C-alpha cells in the first residue's frame, strides 16, 4: 500500500512570528492600487495669460469663469470650501456645500470657480461681490445663489490624482458629477469642455460678453502655480489690484475723482495707474467712507509717487477688480473700469508684475 505524501508544515518554525511583507512602492502607472491621505490643502494651478491660443490638438478648452476660485473638500468628517488663499469659506457658500454633501459618501477635492449668473446666464462678478457683501457692514454675507463650475478633480476616494494627466482627471470628474441628478442645474456643475478651434471659440465668447477662454494641456499632471500647463486668453483683461489712494473731486465732494491702484512687484507694491469709471454714485460714496477710515498716516506714501498733492493715500487693504484694455509703455493701466471689491482677507488674487 502506497503511503500518502507527507504534507509540508505551514510554518517551518512554529515559534517564529508571522511577518508581513514589506509594502511595495507605488507604481506611477497604476495610481489606483494604494491609498493616499487626503491633502489638507492644495495650492491651485494657475493659468498663464497669453495673447493668442497655443496651436495644436494637445489642449482642452473651456469658458473662463468670472468669480472666486474655490477648492471643495468632501471629507469623511464633512465638507470644507477653501479659497485660493486658503481661507475656509464653507459658511459663505451654503448651497455649494449642500450640493457637495450630496456627492458623498465619496471623498473628493474638486477644483472650480464660484460665480453668480445674471438673467441671461452669464457670470457677473458684481453680482457675486454684492451677494457676498465684500465690504462694509455686509462683509461675511452668504452667497446663497452662487454656482460652482467644476473643472478639475484632485483627489477621489483615497487616490491623489495630481500625478495623473489632465485627460484622465477630467474623465473622473465627468463621471463623478454626471452620475448625480441635476449635475448641470444644481449648485455644482461641470465646466463644459468645448470641442472647437480656440480662435473661433474666442470670437463667440467675446460676442456673448464673457471674459475669455482657458486651455489645459491634456497630458500634464496637476502642478501648483503658473507653470504654463494651463493658459488663459482674455477678450478684455480683468485683474485685482490694491487701492492705495484716491484723487479728490470738486464735482462730487462725497466721492472721489479716481482710485489709485497698485500691484505687486516681488514683495513691494508699485503704482499701476488709476481708475475713474465704472462706479455708481451710491457705490462711490460708500467706498469713499471706507477709504477715509483707512487713511495713510506715515510720511512716505504706500507706493513710489510723483508727488501729486491731490492724492489722499490709504492703507493697501481694499482690493478692487479692474477691467482694462492694455498696459501703457510706462506700466500703467489703459482704459480701466471698476468692477467691484474683492474680499480684503483673501489677497492671493492681487496682480503680480512679472
Q: Where are the beta strands (DSSP E) in 136-267?
A: 147-156, 159-160, 188-190, 212-217, 230-234, 237-247, 258-265
Where along the chain do its domains lie? Answer: 48-234, 237-349
pLDDT surpassing 70 at residue 213 = yes
Query: 64, 216, 234, 339: which one is catalytic?
Result: 64
The sign of the torsion formed by the CA atoms of 296, 299, 305, 306 equals positive
The CATH fold assigned to 237-349 is: OB fold (Dihydrolipoamide Acetyltransferase, E2P) (2.40.50)
Average pLDDT, the chain: 84
Spatial separation of the C-alpha atoms in residues 188 and 289, rounded to whole Å? 37
For cell 481694499, name the residue: 318
Please compute the mean of the pLDDT values over residues 111-138 and round it to a whole number: 80
Spatial separation of the C-alpha atoms in residues 32 and 311, rounded to whole Å? 59
The CATH fold assigned to 48-234 is: D-amino Acid Aminotransferase; Chain A, domain 1 (3.30.470)
CB atoms within 10 A of CB 335: 12
> Which pLDDT belongs to residue 235?
86
Model pLDDT for residues 322-344, shown as the tens digit of each residue: 998 888 888 899 889 999 888 77
How do 68-75 and 258-265 pair as beta strands? unpaired
Least confident of 177-186, 237-246, 327-336: 177-186
Q: Is 64 designated active site?
A: yes
Q: How confident is the model at residue 309 (pLDDT cuts 50, 70, 90)?
A: low
Of 238 and 192, the structure prediction assigns the larger pLDDT to 192
Helices (H), the chain: 94-102, 125-132, 166-178, 198-207, 281-292
Cα 160 to the center of its chain, rounded Å:
20
Spatial separation of the C-alpha atoms in residues 255 and 50, rounded to whole Å? 36
> Which pLDDT belongs to residue 74?
96
Helix (H, G, I), strand (E, B) or coil at 93: coil
> Which pLDDT belongs to residue 27?
47
Spatial separation of the C-alpha atoms in residues 11 and 9, rounded to whole Å? 5
Edge-to-edge order in the sheet of strand 212-217: 48-49, 230-234, 212-217, 59-63
Spatial separation of the C-alpha atoms in residues 265 and 263, rounded to whole Å? 7
Model pLDDT for residues 3-38, shown as the tens digit of each residue: 544 444 433 443 343 333 343 444 455 455 568 889
pTM of structure = 0.74
Please compute the mean of the pLDDT values over residues 32-57 and round it to a whole number: 87
Amino acid at each position: 500500500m502506497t503511503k500518502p505524501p507527507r504534507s509540508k508544515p505551514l510554518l517551518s518554525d512554529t515559534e517564529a512570528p508571522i511577518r508581513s511583507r514589506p509594502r511595495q512602492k507605488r507604481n506611477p502607472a497604476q495610481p489606483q492600487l494604494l491609498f493616499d491621505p487626503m491633502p489638507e490643502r492644495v495650492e491651485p494651478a494657475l493659468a498663464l495669460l497669453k495673447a493668442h491660443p497655443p496651436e495644436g490638438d494637445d489642449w482642452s478648452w473651456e469658458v473662463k469663469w468670472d468669480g472666486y476660485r474655490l477648492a471643495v473638500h468632501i471629507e469623511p468628517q464633512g465638507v470644507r470650501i477653501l479659497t485660493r488663499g486658503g481661507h475656509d469659506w464653507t459658511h459663505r457658500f451654503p448651497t455649494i456645500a449642500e450640493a457637495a454633501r450630496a456627492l458623498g459618501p465619496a471623498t473628493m477635492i474638486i477644483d472650480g470657480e464660484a460665480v453668480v449668473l445674471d438673467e441671461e446666464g452669464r457670470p457677473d462678478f458684481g453680482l457675486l461681490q454684492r451677494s457676498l457683501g465684500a465690504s462694509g457692514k455686509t462683509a461675511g454675507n452668504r452667497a446663497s445663489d452662487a454656482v460652482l463650475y467644476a473643472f478639475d478633480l484632485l483627489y477621489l476616494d483615497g487616490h491623489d490624482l495630481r500625478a495623473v494627466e489632465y485627460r484622465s482627471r477630467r474623465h473622473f470628474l465627468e463621471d463623478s458629477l454626471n452620475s448625480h441628478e441635476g449635475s448641470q442645474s444644481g449648485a455644482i456643475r461641470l465646466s463644459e469642455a468645448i470641442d472647437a478651434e480656440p480662435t473661433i471659440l474666442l470670437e463667440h465668447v467675446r460676442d456673448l460678453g464673457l471674459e475669455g477662454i482657458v486651455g489645459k494641456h491634456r497630458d500634464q499632471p496637476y502642478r501648483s502655480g503658473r507653470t504654463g500647463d494651463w493658459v488663459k486668453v482674455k477678450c478684455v483683461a480683468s485683474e485685482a489690484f490694491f487701492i492705495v489712494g484716491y484723487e479728490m473731486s470738486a464735482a462730487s465732494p462725497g466721492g472721489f475723482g479716481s482710485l489709485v491702484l497698485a500691484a505687486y512687484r516681488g514683495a513691494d507694491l508699485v503704482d499701476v495707474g488709476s481708475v475713474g469709471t465704472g462706479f455708481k454714485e451710491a457705490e462711490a460714496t460708500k467706498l469713499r467712507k471706507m477709504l477715509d477710515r483707512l487713511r495713510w498716516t506715515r510720511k512716505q506714501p504706500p507706493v513710489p509717487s510723483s508727488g501729486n498733492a491731490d492724492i489722499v493715500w490709504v492703507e493697501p487693504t481694499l482690493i478692487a477688480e479692474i477691467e482694462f484694455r492694455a498696459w501703457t509703455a510706462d506700466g500703467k493701466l489703459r482704459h480701466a473700469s471698476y468692477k467691484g471689491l474683492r474680499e480684503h482677507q483673501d489677497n492671493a488674487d492681487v496682480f503680480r508684475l512679472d
